[in-house]
Every structure is written in structure tokens, then in C-alpha cells.
């Protein structure tokens, strides 16, 4: 079954992590997926990772969609404008826009107040996390409303409820991730009259390529990392949030979510999909009820 056959998606920031997982699952559902980022073969981005957008596009096609890689720096309005013009010429419109641009992992400093945090790095982080999303929305949302039923997804870290009660250990990081939630809420107001929907979505503790490297494990043996960090037992693959976005995009009644802050675990309950291992990790509930409650690591009842 290809519920998104004939649909056109743009996943902005699809080089790795959640962006790659989302692009992959949109492709598995049959969509044509434009994948953008700064990392291409022979030209890595500033964080120096090996992943490329060409690899993501190939994965999309391998899974049954059509992957199209386009190198774009979403901080450069002219490059995003050119991307919009290309997609309009080739497809006429966009049905699904995923704003997952980030690349700020190397810039934030945990547990440092603003006066102790490197200012240049903090401001760069905000540009990558907020300004890029606004530039992309400015140029791409006209294509999203060109035909009814469009879906905008702002990818973040943490639900609105969780972030409202938890300081994310750095003013810069906290502001970046909360801003995406508010942007989705604001875009929802603007898009609703045009028959389009906007949501914010967060994965849980995601086993991104960088996270796996940090723990010196692979997706095949990720459970070995629980010896170092026991609560990693609640972690999820990037494909889990991808399946959440694909389920939203395929739902004819997705407007009921308009403006809301959603999570991969919460949507798994609503739509019935699972992670690649057949489980349904509910990270944000686990974080509060187990990890922050000081209980021993145990995902029973949470995946």
C-alpha cells in the first residue's frame, strides 16, 4: 500500500537523524521527496559528519518513493527561493513540508547560563534553528497552499507540555526548541483558511547516527548502550518519527491536529504504527514517570 503515492514532500534538513527517518518513511508510503541539506558527497557540513543528502535520496527511492537530493543552505534566502522555483516548475505544488533544519549540536553548552555561554555559538544556534525555518516557510508555504490539504511539520525536541515545565539546560537550546512549537502554532492560524494543517512534532530519545556513535554502538546492537546509560532502553529509531509524519500525511482528518504539539509516541497510540522493532516507545511519559521519578530503568509498559 502506498497511501502517499502522487504526493510531493520537501524534507528540509534531511541529511541525517529525524530528517532522514522522515524522508525514508514518506518514501516508503510512495511520496516524491525532495531532501535538502548542506552535506553532499565531498562537501560535508560544518559538523563534519559523513552522511549526505544523496544517501537519503537513495534510501527514499529504495523504499518505494522517489528521492531527489538538492543541496540548499536554508540560511540563504536566495537558495531557498531557487528551490521553491524548481519544485514549482517540476511539481506545481508541495503537499508535505517538513522543517527539520538544525545542525546545532556542536554549538550549545549544557548547564551554562547565558553570560557564560559562548555568545557567537549561541546566536549561530538560533539562526540555524529558527531563522532557517522562517526563511523556508516564507518561500515554500505558497506552494503548500496551492492545492488543498497541505501539511506543515515543524520538528523539535520536547512537547509543549514537557518544555513548559522543564528548562532544557541552556537558554539558547531551550529557546530554539520552544520556538519551533510556537512557529507551528502561528503557522496553523495562517494556514487553516487555506485548508492546510501545521503541527509541531518531537521524537523521543532518538538513536540518530550521532547518538549511536556517541555510545559506540549500531542500530543492530543499540541495547548494549544501556550498560552506560540504562534509560536508553526507551530510545527509538529515526524511522519512528518518520512513521508518525507519514501517518499524519495520510490521514484525511489531519486538520484535527492543527496547531498542536505532538510526539512520535503519542501518534503511535493514535494511529497504531510501531517502530522498526515492532514496539511503541512512549519516551516523554517514561521520562516523567520513570527517569525523573528516580526509578530504575525499565521500559515495561512504555514500549
**Could you read off the pLDDT of 62-87 as tens digits, one per residue?**
999 999 999 999 999 999 999 999 99
Is 0.95 topped by the overall pTM?
A: yes
**Could you read off the pLDDT of 41-66 as tens digits, one per residue?**
877 777 878 899 999 999 999 999 99
Provide the residue ranges of all domains of the chain, joining segments of one domain with +: 8-291
Name 192's Cβ contacts closer than 8 Å, sequence gap at least 6.
255, 258
- Measured distance between the N- and C-terminal CA atoms of the chain, rounded to whole angstroms: 26
Coil, strand or helix at 120: helix
**Could you read off the pLDDT of 258-299 as tens digits, one per residue?**
999 999 999 999 999 999 999 999 999 999 999 999 999 999
Q: Identify the CATH number of the domain defined by range 8-291.
A: 3.40.50.720
Closest residue by Cα to residue 21 from 250, 277, 212, 207: 207
Cell numbers found for residue 237: 529509531
Coil, strand or helix at 97: strand
What b-and-e string marks burial along 212-225, b requiring 16 or more CB atoms within 10 Å of the CB?
Answer: beebebeeeebeeb
- Looking at the chain, list the stretches that DSSP marks H as alpha helix, in order from N- to C-terminal side: 17-28, 53-62, 77-91, 119-126, 132-144, 160-165, 171-191, 209-215, 238-250, 264-271, 283-286
**What percent of the chain has pLDDT above 90?**
93
What's the pLDDT at 44?
A: 73
The DSSP 8-state label assigned to residue 204 in this structure reads: S
**Could you read off the pLDDT of 164-191 as tens digits, one per residue?**
999 998 999 999 999 999 999 999 999 9
Question: In what order do the strands lie in the sheet containing 66-71?
Answer: 66-71, 32-37, 8-12, 96-99, 151-155, 197-202, 261-263
Amino acid at each position: 500500500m502506498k497511501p502517499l503515492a502522487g504526493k510531493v514532500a520537501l524534507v528540509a534538513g534531511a541529511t541525517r537523524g529525524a530528517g532522514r527517518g522522515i524522508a525514508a518513511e514518506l518514501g516508503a508510503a510512495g511520496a516524491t521527496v525532495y531532501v535538502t541539506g548542506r552535506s553532499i558527497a565531498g562537501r560535508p557540513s560544518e559538523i563534519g559528519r559523513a552522511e549526505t543528502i544523496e544517501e537519503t535520496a537513495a534510501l527514499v527511492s529504495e523504499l518505494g518513493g522517489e528521492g531527489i537530493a538538492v543541496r540548499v543552505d536554508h540560511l540563504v534566502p536566495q537558495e531557498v527561493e531557487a528551490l521553491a522555483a524548481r519544485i514549482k516548475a517540476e511539481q506545481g505544488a508541495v503537499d508535505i513540508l517538513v522543517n527539520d533544519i538544525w545542525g546545532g549540536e556542536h554549538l550549545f553548552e549544557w548547564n551554562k547560563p547565558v553570560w557564560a555561554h559562548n555568545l557567537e555559538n549561541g546566536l549561530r544556534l538560533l539562526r540555524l534553528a529558527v531563522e532557517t525555518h522562517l526563511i523556508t516557510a516564507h518561500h515554500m508555504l505558497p506552494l503548500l497552499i496551492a492545492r488543498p490539504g497541505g501539511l506543515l511539520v515543524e520538528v523539535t525536541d520536547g512537547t509543549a507540555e514537557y518544555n513548559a515545565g522543564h528548562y532544557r539546560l541552556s537558554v539558547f537550546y531551550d529557546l530554539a526548541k520552544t520556538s519551533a512549537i510556537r512557529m507551528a502554532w502561528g503557522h496553523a492560524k495562517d494556514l487553516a483558511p487555506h485548508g492546510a494543517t501545521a503541527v509541531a512534532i518531537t521524537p523521543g530519545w532518538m538513536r540518530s547516527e550521532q547518538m549511536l556513535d556517541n555510545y559506540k554502538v549500531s542500530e543492530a546492537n543499540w541495547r548494549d548502550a544501556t550498560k552506560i546509560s540504562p534509560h536508553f532502553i526507551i530510545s527509538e529509531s529515526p524511522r519512528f518519527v518518520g512513521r508518525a509524519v507519514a501517518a499524519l500525511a495520510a490521514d484525511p482528518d489531519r486538520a484535527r491536529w492543527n496547531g498542536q504539539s505532538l510526539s512520535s509516541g503519542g501518534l503511535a497510540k493514535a494511529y497504531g504504527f510501531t517502530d522498526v522493532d515492532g514496539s511503541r516507545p512512549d519516551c516523554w511519559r517514561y521520562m516523567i514517570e520513570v527517569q525523573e521519578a528516580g526509578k530504575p530503568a525499565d521500559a515495561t509498559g512504555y514500549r
